[in-house]
Amino acid sequence: MPSFTPSFRALAALIPPLFMLTPAFAQLSGEEKTLETIVVTATRQAARASELLADMTVIDRATIEKSGQETLPELLARQPGVQVSSNGGPGAAASIYLRGANSAHTKVLIDGIPVNSVSLSGFPLHYLALADVERIEILRGQASALYGADAVGGVIHIITRRGRTGLAADGFIGYGSHDTQQASAGISGGNAQWRFRVEANHYQTDGFSARRHARNKDADDDAYRNIGGAASVSFLPAAGHDIGINYRKNKGISHHDSFSSSGDYDQRVRFENEVWQLFSMNRILENWQSALRYGEAEDRQDAYEGLDTWSFLMPVDNISSFHTRNRFLSWQNDIDLPIGKALLAVERLKQEVGPSHDYTGAASYTDSPDNHNTSFLLGWTAHLEKHSWQINARRDKHSEFGSESTYGLSYGYQFNDALRSRVSYGTAFKAPSAYQMYMDMGWGYHGNPDLKPETAKNGEVALTWERGAHRVSAIYYRNKIKNLIDWKVNTYENVDKALLEGITLAYAGQFGAWRLAATYDWLNAENQSKNAAGVGYERLGRRARDKATLALAHTWGKLETGVELIAIGRRYDVNYLKTDLNKEELGGYGLTNLTARYALGKNLTLEARLNNLFDKQYETVRYYGTDGFNAFIGLRYSGER
């Protein structure tokens, strides 16, 4: 394993002073889960977190609130195995690399509905509000046998808040640097047969310049505004039956910089994201649970381009746009067996693209068909004495690429009460998106209808020791991808193969009133293909070899205070070719954040956060700005506690 970069030595130097501070690390509540933590993403069935045969992180509602993070990418960036790059501040396009896989290699679900779009990042997570999120389940590693295409690197499952019995209200209002204003309010209630929840949320900020060292209009602050709401209703006619509907929508505008030679135009994107579903969950027999759901997810984005954006004479406010709609139908059956539980499911996903237009106003997807995929799933999860196993198989029939089969095999062994191990192996595939195949930006930039699907083989081994309030884990994984899709000159091409290999180490523990958590990720993300001259590539862009987090927490009666340290090693802005003279290297960096929460009453909490305490200047994407020192304070009311 390579030695630490200078930024990691700086992190190590900061460790002793931590024990003189009084911190609270938001992620800890997710790490300290006990046997009662129930998750659904790792097996598609309700299961105890301690029994999973997968690399899984659960970020519950309490963790989200304690984190003080304003956006979903900021929250995800603190999780093990996750790296994030952003083209500016809040609302800017963000790419999320799960175990080093491309951003579009992560399946994103909201309440089980796929929301991946033809957006270049694969999904519009940077527009999703945290106000209505109950928990986030991050599944790292092979997941195509459960979730099909897009799950090469894993799955991010966002589960929204629901109504409960009784009547309760909750709300939040906060203010921070860059004239950032945040507010949300919700009410929920119900009885033995009916449950409901309604809420609204608002977020706006003046932001900061997306472009570093900019001039003219590019040097101004890039504002962001997001307003949304959510509602859900469910009917429980009898024990074991739940029928309902849920809906959420966010819309707003995100300003960016033109990156033109004059910097004399303020580019912006108007967005609208919408997800809804109908569901019926029914216990057919004592050992047979059925779940039928239909849902849709829409992503609409209109980008306003300026006169000199591409140094061509074009009208001001020329618009490029795209629209993605996912229609999803699923019927899943969970059957209790003498040993374990069986999974039988069928689902159909149809992705519609358009109407979309390029920068000249011409249609960008004139030849793009609506892709649809029909899938059949089988699974068996069981525990027998010290042995555990999970077997999954899936058959996908894609409208463009025919049939594809994937599978996943996992085995676990419990050595004693504290020590357990697991090993897993699985296959995956990723069909090219409509954007990659059919987009036409003009001036010779176009899609490639001859692209082949990407395929992958992933294996991992893990060891976990857990006793009392202490938990230590070590994971090694190796993911080999063939027909990797990459941008080449003016179009997309399959570039043969890539290797994603890494180690994740984690510790979480409690010493009286003190809580400590630490993680370390080592990642080797390589493009193993060669160019026409026979020269090989090395590192995949924007993915650091080293990432570490350290957090210490303490509760002083009504007061919780905390500190978190995040260190990211050096990486390249683009895929690095061995012969490149200009490597476009991005330096490593370390961030220190402080949090505090004070209980003003049973249901009222005052929260504060200081980010980037030492005003570190750094980049996650070359020439794009990141925020310096910033602060935020808020007041939270929760009638559910």
Alpha-carbon separation of residue 341 from 37, 186, 240, 332 (angstroms): 19, 37, 17, 13
- Compute φ and ψ for 206, nearest 5 degrees: -75, -25
The secondary structure element, H or E, covering residue 58 is: strand 55-60
pLDDT band at 267 (very low <50, low <70, confident <90, very high): confident
Q: Which residues contact 612 (CB under 8 A, 6 or more apart)?
A: 591, 592, 593, 627, 628, 629, 630
The predicted structure's pLDDT at residue 285: 95
What is the average pLDDT value for the chain, to the nearest integer? Answer: 85
> For 119-130, how does the pLDDT look when each residue is reduced to its tens digit (9 = 90+)?
665 577 888 888
Average pLDDT over residues 249-271: 79
Judge whether 296 and 329 are in contact, CB under 8 Å: no
Report, as an integer, the average pLDDT of 90-104.
Answer: 90
Nearest to 229 by CA among 277, 137, 160: 160
CB 581 within 8 A of CB 587: no
Q: Can you list the domains of the chain with their CATH numbers?
A: 6-638 (2.40.170.20)
Give tens-digit pLDDT for 200-238.
Answer: 999 999 999 888 877 777 778 889 999 999 999 999 999
Whether 58 shows a pLDDT value over 80: the answer reads yes
d(CA 274, CA 229): 10
Q: How far apart are CA 70 and CA 96, in angstroms?
A: 17
Q: Which of 93-107, 317-331, 400-414, 431-445 has the lowest mean pLDDT?
A: 431-445
The answer to whether the beta carbons of residues 223 and 265 sit under 8 Å apart is no
Given a cut of 70, is residue 141 above it in pLDDT? yes
Q: List pLDDT tens digits, range 339-392.
A: 999 999 999 999 888 755 444 444 444 445 678 899 999 999 999 999 999 999
